[in-house]
Amino acid sequence: MRKRGAFITLEGIEGAGKSTCMALAARLLRDAGRELVESREPGGTPLGEALRELLLGHRHDGMAVDTELLLMFAARAEHLHRKILPDLRQGRWVLCDRFTDATYAYQGGGRGVEESRIAVLEKWVQGDLKPDLTLLLDLPPEVGLERAGKRSKPDRFEKERVSFFERVRRVYLQRAADEPRRFRVIDAARPLEEVERQVAEVVQEFLAAWS
Ligand code: Z5A
Q: Which atom of ligand 1 is nearest to the CA of 165?
A: 19
Strands (E), 68-200: 93-97, 133-138, 183-187
Please tell me if the CB atom of residue 158 comes closer than 6 angstroms to any atom of ligand 1: yes
3 state DSSP class of 128: coil
- Give the amino acid at 203: V
Q: Which of 20, 38, 73 to mutate to test the pocket of ligand 1 (most atoms within 8 A of CB)?
A: 20
DSSP structure class, residue 83: I
Is pTM beyond 0.95 here? yes
Please tell me if the CB atom of residue 42 comes closer than 6 angstroms to any atom of ligand 1: yes
- Distance from the alpha carbon of residue 126 to the mean position of ligand 1, in angstroms: 24
Greatest alpha-carbon span in the chain:
50
Ligand 1, atom 27, residue with closest C-alpha: 14
DSSP per-residue codes, 53-72: HHHHSSTTTT--HHHHHHHH
Q: Which residues pair with 181 in a beta bridge?
A: none
CA–CA distance, 105 with 121 (Å, rounded to integer): 15
Task: Label residues 55-92 b or e (16+ Cβ within 10 Å = b).
Answer: beeeeeeeeeeeebbebbbbbbbbbbeebbbebbeeeb
Is residue 28 pLDDT above 70, yes or no?
yes
- Please return the burial class of 108, using the count of CB atoms within 10 Å of its CB with bins 0-12, 13-18 and 19+: buried
CB atoms within 10 A of CB 147: 17
Please tell me if the CB atom of residue 130 comes closer than 6 angstroms to any atom of ligand 1: no
pLDDT in tens, 120-156: 999 999 999 999 999 999 999 999 999 987 666 788 8
Query: Residue 70 region, left (φ>0) first, then alpha (ψ -120 to 50), else beta?
Result: alpha
pLDDT in tens, 42-63: 999 999 999 999 999 999 999 9
Spatial contact of 21 and 200, defined as CB atoms under 8 Å apart: no
Please tell me if the CB atom of residue 16 comes closer than 6 angstroms to any atom of ligand 1: yes
Residue length of the chain: 211
Task: Label residues 171-197 b or e (16+ Cβ within 10 Å = b).
Answer: bbbebbeeeeebbbbbebbeeeeebbe
Please tell me if the CB atom of residue 133 comes closer than 6 angstroms to any atom of ligand 1: no
Please tell me if the CB atom of residue 141 comes closer than 6 angstroms to any atom of ligand 1: no
> For residue 115, what pLDDT band results from cuts at 50, 70 and 90?
very high
Q: Which atom of ligand 1 is nearest to the CA of 110?
A: 3
Please tell me if the CB atom of residue 147 comes closer than 6 angstroms to any atom of ligand 1: yes
CA–CA distance, 65 with 67 (Å, rounded to integer): 5
Please tell me if the CB atom of residue 196 comes closer than 6 angstroms to any atom of ligand 1: no
Arithmetic mean of pLDDT over the chain: 96
Ligand 1, atom 6, residue with closest C-alpha: 103
